[in-house]
Structure 1
């Protein structure tokens, strides 16, 4: 009797759940469904939209579906930083599945003009990549992915059979598994049995950092081109293996919105994108409109968003013969929330995402030959354009071989062919240079990577207005025309397995070792050495070796006899420290070097950095995450993350470096001003970015001054121009030139007195009255690439980018710009690392 009652209760519970969001609420009733294919609810234990699906349940359902259907194959493309699997489902007709590798190979030939003309596109399937929820707190996409997969696997009838014969669907159910799971956990734990729709409820207001980002708090929808993140690298590898015709990118926007699909604002399309791409995007949009009309959903197009930055999922395909499509659904941010349009329920948001998946499939089916022909034509035109291009190849060079390697590896991820420069040419040294021929199948992507422009038809940008990678990496680079380029310049092809290797030149020493600071991984090596208790010093003047080699300012000195470890053990530690780095050490037999001797007072003793960083409410998770990623993934340096709400309980004396990322929440620790001041006076170093630097200034902890942003005059403007005029004063992201004092500790390891820096704010820092306290400053006409208004360009000219302040024995190093932007700004990362390791050595006389 007890078991019968239990069964009845379970059945009743299931019936109630089914009544809330039944499967037929979402699915078209025009076809039947194979009963042997498991529904989402039969696997995950609840109807779609009743709860937010957690990533483990999503994976379980997709794996179960693949095991149940001969239309579905599934692979794990990699794992996230938290160890969650990234999945890619290949869904198509069983006949195609039996020949899927051949289909993939034939499809990829569309990118090769030497082979594509012979392809019979009338008998080729189109390929659609459906990608969901790259922002974890925009979950309607991932929840809709279960419906899409079920529909494709279980749908019956001639219509869907024919579509599956003519279309290969690549389905990525969760672009961002870690963020999705973080958000699902949040909203599910705050769901009430009796729904609360008040926007003030905790369900709709996530705790910092929220579920939007990945493990390291990155916006992964900005990483398709740089591909610095593990998840992105796994994904783009599959993208290039398939080269889909359409890629859909399912997002969410504000609760009071409706539904958006591309095209975006026409004037904000990158000029490299061919017009036909936008025409086809518009044509596909007609399918979305028709399908949304059929279910009564409101929508719009062409009035928001753009197709400019190629690092976004919806724009990345546009420079590779495909159509990227952004979908933005008004977000319930939970299970049901009040909006200006009434109560917005989670199932409704899922239904719109699912519906546009079906409309995309219909477009890919009916426009199949047109899409395939466009892809073929794109690469044929690109090839012809490359033959006639002004730049026949690009030379890139740097004295930092590890940074140069990172640049080449980024290109290699996108199947761009990179070669060693075979011989000295155009002022570039062969052993420090690479050459990238323009005439290769990714020629348009290469063009985008080196693109420089300062003139625009529209002054508003949804994202950055410049992303030149040569500038981002602070490389010397040059385009070669037909006269300067010839095939004899092409050396060995870049091999990502051949990383720059450091060595101890001269073998074991009983006197001292000198370490160059020019390599990207020098901070990692120094950390390892210091962690082992090895005493280190840094030179403030040049050293001339016996063989005539000059080691620049910033060279690290490791004496032998002054260490507590014997020379044999010291040597083993140094050997291990430089493994898989490009860092060289030089064994020195005598202190009688040129320039300065090794016992000179021009060496500064270094303390091992003990680093903390403030995080939490009011601090930008992006900026904080970029710092965390750099320290953890590149340099393997531990850094304590202190929640700003716990700051009053923290003993700062455990640390000697405190990093304050950009943010607006520092007012909450205003009462701790004396604590900060005392710590600084005792010799601590604060590295403060953007608004954090301004907060320190406002608190009179520094003498740094910031220019006020006031309009020059008050006149009359049309109300309809309000948004555009205000937006035109935003620096959404552009590249500017700064000048460096190469003798300053902030610039150790750098060889060029000018470098590009990224800026996305209108925070202008006035020059310090102390002439030595401005080691990095903007040049007179600093714009290198991107958009800035004339008013802001005038304000920026010759202002300070980095300012040094003293508080007792301590220093505050203030930055107006993010030196670690999106992890691909390798050129300016050194500024922060120098601040960490050498900030302690800056003379108080060189500070405000």
Structure 2
């Protein structure tokens, strides 16, 4: 502690920091550097740790290293929503740079079970040093610059050996948009003298804070869903190289110390990852980390908390690809210096620990090079062998009524390099017919077998009952994808797909002077509808099925079908046709034209069962104590899937809203009592006058608790609590009582406007909360209801499962001329729940049913 206090004092006296003092602080004393290579502080004009460095300056420094040194090369792999560059600095010896492509191709042989490497003598360790996925955990991007400097300018024999035997890839900022949001905050409130009081504004960011990306998503959960451009670019780069080691540097609470792997044994580990990853590689590398941190006197802990099970982290995704993923957590200064029970935590000190672990990672990756290379080759060889031995040969899937959702799911599989085949023939499994054209097959006998398991397997048996994050991530369920096991003797045949095959079903529709029809069961139909409404086209939706003669022959149409009558429009038939063409092309779906309103069965097109769609004018309250992640999910959903703007208003400005300008209000989890009585009364009146109020998860609880609706909480069964238990076990006991991220089967009323577009009454939903709502007393208001034994995948204790069965997941109720649509569960979780997104689309477009 005396060592730490000494350097904390030095850090606080930034004005006295010389370049040599900085180098001696962050690196071992006497480390030699090439004077022609600028240090970060020389390039930036201030010592590292005195300010939070903007992302553009970080990129500028990396670009300068690549310009000056033949050890470095900078690649731009993408950009964020706010157009900040995503870059990777590749550092290796000049000779390796000259042969980089051949090194990459040779390295990829490790991932190909059809090729045997055997001799690893001349192969390189490939190390991806990744930093700052959470924008307000900023020390790691500063450490990235220092690490890059160390290997580009370093003159020691250790550095030269590392550059000879390894290819180092420094990704300095996984989340540039969030980082700059936080950096601006921290720098804006930096005092002189600095304020270390934890309650100071510098240490307490305003909503939505800098942790998340532009759409307020946690990108450290996005390696599996790939909902965002940052993750999509990063995963493309990942699969170009398949690194042997991937780091993921984080920060945690100020009052903690430092964490490195291994994580909690068994309970926090992914069941598809071979044991040698956890028992072998993790423990092997831990020796390097503790020696390095011991050397500088830093306190740390291991084998506690944190998670290696959810496959969508930057530290777990590599484990399912034959690599070693490593998470590091540093107690945060959340600003430049902050008080803690063990003394002041300075920004420079947090950076120092991450630099130390970065260098130790490279040291271990070079020292254990052949172990890593052999592990990767064995990993993919064993994956293919295990997949071939599985009595389940593969998985058949496909929704016959929703090509858009099929293609979105296939796109996810292909981005993860999972072999996927379009079937040549129809096949019937488990009483369902999968028709060629919308039937696909994923074989288990492939090198990505363990990722295949991740996408399709349902898991309900667990080593532990306490989960840091989700306990289920079965992607096929999140897409509401019909699928079944194939246990035939041979793999099914068909065309192996590429992403170039994913082009939607759009085809030109003949002009008509009568009407056009669009099926609402297509996932992207809301995008077409929104486009038409924006262009001033009148669109009706049908509340009953029918069949009719179209340009494609007699077709059957289900609930929610869109009908565009030509003669009713305030524009000529040519323009209506042009808009329908444009709308369906943008959405990648088909429309049909009809010359008559007389149906072959069911209602005619002039029936009262058709209702005019009200153009949504949507508003969402944000800020305050609302859930920024849920708000971001709503915002991103309508931006990216519909192209529809949603007005976002901070809670502090709610009193200024002219409610007559809007017809739809979305409330995400949070408490809204702070709006004040007059504003709340105005919203109630607005609903009664015809507004649609949509509440999600915690906002539904708030609405019920505030007596806005007459719905009631469901009773909970009695829990047996031991008369006495040891204090040390109490956390595990009570933790097992929570409902922490699992998947359940519900029954959906597909005849209700909020259920339009679904063709099956079975609908998987995601639950990560303990709120239980009774079905509505009105028999038609419970749109989505849990089945009696609903668990599909994930952990839940028996008492909770019994309580969940039969409760409501979505209730829609009328108040005056308006409606309140109450989501008990989040339909947009992590941008991955394509299966339940449609419920929110329906609530927005048809919520005034």
Of residues 668, 678, 681 in structure 1, which corresponds to 2:688? Answer: 681
Q: Say yes or no: does 1:94 pair with 2:94.
A: yes
Q: What's the offset of the Cα at 1:263?
A: 1.0
Q: Say yes or no: does 1:571 pair with 2:574.
A: no
Aligned to 1:501: 505
Aligned to 2:8: none
Q: How does 1:499-538 map to 2 (within 5 A)?
A: 499-503=503-507, 505=509, 507-538=510-541
Q: What is the alpha-carbon distance in structure 1 between the residues aligned to residue 608 and residue 156 of structure 2?
A: 85
Q: Say yes or no: does 1:29 pair with 2:29.
A: yes
Q: What's the offset of the Cα at 1:671?
A: 4.6
Q: What's the offset of the Cα at 1:553?
A: 1.4
Q: Is the 8 A contact 1:420 1:494 kept in 2?
A: no
Q: What is the alpha-carbon distance in structure 2 between the residues aligned to residue 655 and residue 236 of structure 1?
A: 40
Q: What is the alpha-carbon distance in structure 1 between the residues aligned to residue 538 and residue 21 of structure 2?
A: 66
Aligned to 1:351: 352
Q: What is the alpha-carbon distance in structure 2 between the residues aligned to residue 258 and residue 684 of structure 1?
A: 51
SS in 1 for 2:453: helix
Aligned to 2:770: 762
Q: What's the offset of the Cα at 1:412?
A: 1.1
The Cα offsets for residues 636-669 of structure 1, whole Å up to 9 and x where unpaired, read as 1011001111111111111100000122455444
Q: What's the offset of the Cα at 1:28?
A: 1.6
Aligned to 2:77: 77
Q: What is the alpha-carbon distance in structure 2 between the residues aligned to residue 322 and residue 702 of structure 1?
A: 52
The Cα offsets for residues 434-470 of structure 1, whole Å up to 9 and x where unpaired, read as 1122222212111221121111110111111001011
Q: What is the alpha-carbon distance in structure 1 between the residues aligned to residue 416 and residue 576 of structure 2?
A: 42
The Cα offsets for residues 278-328 of structure 1, whole Å up to 9 and x where unpaired, read as 021111011100000000000010011121010011111111100100000
Q: What's the offset of the Cα at 1:380?
A: 1.0
Q: What's the offset of the Cα at 1:422?
A: 1.2
SS in 2 for 1:420: strand
Aligned to 1:424: 426
Aligned to 1:9: none
Q: Say yes or no: does 1:794 pair with 2:794.
A: no
Give the aligned length.
Answer: 825
Aligned to 2:215: 216
SS in 2 for 1:840: coil
Distance of aligned partners of 1:214 and 1:559 in 2 relative to their CA distance in 1, 3 Å threshold:
same
Q: What's the offset of the Cα at 1:48?
A: 0.7
Q: How does 1:5-154 map to 2 (within 5 A)?
A: 16-18=16-18, 22-115=22-115, 117-154=116-153
Q: What's the offset of the Cα at 1:725?
A: 1.4
Q: What's the offset of the Cα at 1:805?
A: 2.0
Q: What is the alpha-carbon distance in structure 2 between the residues aligned to residue 704 and residue 223 of structure 1?
A: 35
Moved more, 85-94 or 473-482: 473-482
Q: What's the offset of the Cα at 1:511?
A: 1.0
Q: What is the alpha-carbon distance in structure 2 between the residues aligned to residue 511 and residue 386 of structure 1?
A: 55
Of residues 751, 762, 781 in structure 2, which corresponds to 1:773? Answer: 781
Aligned to 2:411: 409
Distance of aligned partners of 1:666 and 1:375 in 2 relative to their CA distance in 1, 3 Å threshold:
farther
Moved more, 363-372 or 655-664: 655-664
Aligned to 1:292: 293
The Cα offsets for residues 89-136 of structure 1, whole Å up to 9 and x where unpaired, read as 111111111111111111111011221x23521221111110001000
Aligned to 1:8: none
The Cα offsets for residues 480-531 of structure 1, whole Å up to 9 and x where unpaired, read as 1242x435x22252343541132354x1111111111011110010011111
Aligned to 1:10: none
SS in 1 for 2:587: coil
Q: Is the 8 A contact 1:402 1:499 kept in 2?
A: no
SS in 1 for 2:702: helix
Q: What is the alpha-carbon distance in structure 2 between the residues aligned to residue 669 and residue 133 of structure 1?
A: 39
Q: What is the alpha-carbon distance in structure 1 between the residues aligned to residue 496 and residue 138 of structure 2?
A: 46
Of residues 478, 486, 495 in structure 1, which corresponds to 2:491? Answer: 486
Q: Say yes or no: does 1:550 pair with 2:552.
A: no
Q: How does 1:815-830 map to 2 (within 5 A)?
A: 815-830=823-838
Q: Say yes or no: does 1:277 pair with 2:281.
A: no
Aligned to 1:434: 440
The Cα offsets for residues 598-617 of structure 1, whole Å up to 9 and x where unpaired, read as 11111112210101111112
Q: How does 1:651-690 map to 2 (within 5 A)?
A: 651-664=658-671, 666-690=673-697
SS in 2 for 1:738: strand
Q: What's the offset of the Cα at 1:14?
A: 9.4
TM-score, normalised to structure 2, is 0.95
SS in 1 for 2:326: strand
Q: Is the 8 A contact 1:132 1:174 kept in 2?
A: yes
SS in 1 for 2:847: helix
Q: What's the offset of the Cα at 1:19?
A: 8.1
Q: What's the offset of the Cα at 1:670?
A: 4.9
Q: Is the 8 A contact 2:407 2:502 kept in 1?
A: no
Distance of aligned partners of 1:666 and 1:100 in 2 relative to their CA distance in 1, 3 Å threshold:
farther
Q: What is the alpha-carbon distance in structure 1 between the residues aligned to residue 661 and residue 834 of structure 2?
A: 30
TM-score, normalised to structure 1, is 0.95
Q: What is the alpha-carbon distance in structure 2 between the residues aligned to residue 608 and residue 794 of structure 1?
A: 41
SS in 1 for 2:842: helix
The Cα offsets for residues 733-785 of structure 1, whole Å up to 9 and x where unpaired, read as 10000101111111111111111111111111111111101010000001000
Q: Which runs of 5+ in 1 are unaligned?
A: 1-12, 842-848
Aligned to 1:846: none
Moved more, 268-277 or 75-84: 268-277
Distance of aligned partners of 1:322 and 1:402 in 2 relative to their CA distance in 1, 3 Å threshold:
same
Distance of aligned partners of 1:21 and 1:815 in 2 relative to their CA distance in 1, 3 Å threshold:
farther
SS in 2 for 1:696: helix
Q: What's the offset of the Cα at 1:86?
A: 0.4
SS in 1 for 2:322: coil
Q: What is the alpha-carbon distance in structure 2 between the residues aligned to residue 14 and residue 49 of structure 1?
A: 9
Q: Say yes or no: does 1:619 pair with 2:626.
A: yes
Q: What is the alpha-carbon distance in structure 2 between the residues aligned to residue 496 and residue 732 of structure 1?
A: 38
Aligned to 1:4: none
Q: What is the alpha-carbon distance in structure 1 between the residues aligned to residue 715 and residue 327 of structure 2?
A: 37
Q: Which runs of 5+ in 2 are unaligned?
A: 1-12
Moved more, 494-503 or 386-395: 494-503
Q: Is the 8 A contact 1:702 1:806 kept in 2?
A: no
Q: Is the 8 A contact 1:402 1:500 kept in 2?
A: yes
Q: Is the 8 A contact 1:247 1:322 kept in 2?
A: yes
Q: Say yes or no: does 1:451 pair with 2:457.
A: yes
Q: What is the alpha-carbon distance in structure 1 between the residues aligned to residue 57 and residue 590 of structure 2?
A: 49
Q: Is the 8 A contact 1:673 1:699 kept in 2?
A: no
Q: Is the 8 A contact 1:516 1:555 kept in 2?
A: yes
Aligned to 1:370: 371
Q: What's the offset of the Cα at 1:707?
A: 3.4
Q: Is the 8 A contact 1:421 1:433 kept in 2?
A: yes
CA-based RMSD = 1.6
Aligned to 2:467: 461
SS in 2 for 1:87: strand
Q: What is the alpha-carbon distance in structure 2 between the residues aligned to residue 245 and residue 766 of structure 1?
A: 51
Of residues 733, 745, 752 in structure 2, which corresponds to 1:725? Answer: 733
Q: Is the 8 A contact 2:512 2:593 kept in 1?
A: yes
Q: Is the 8 A contact 1:73 1:91 kept in 2?
A: yes
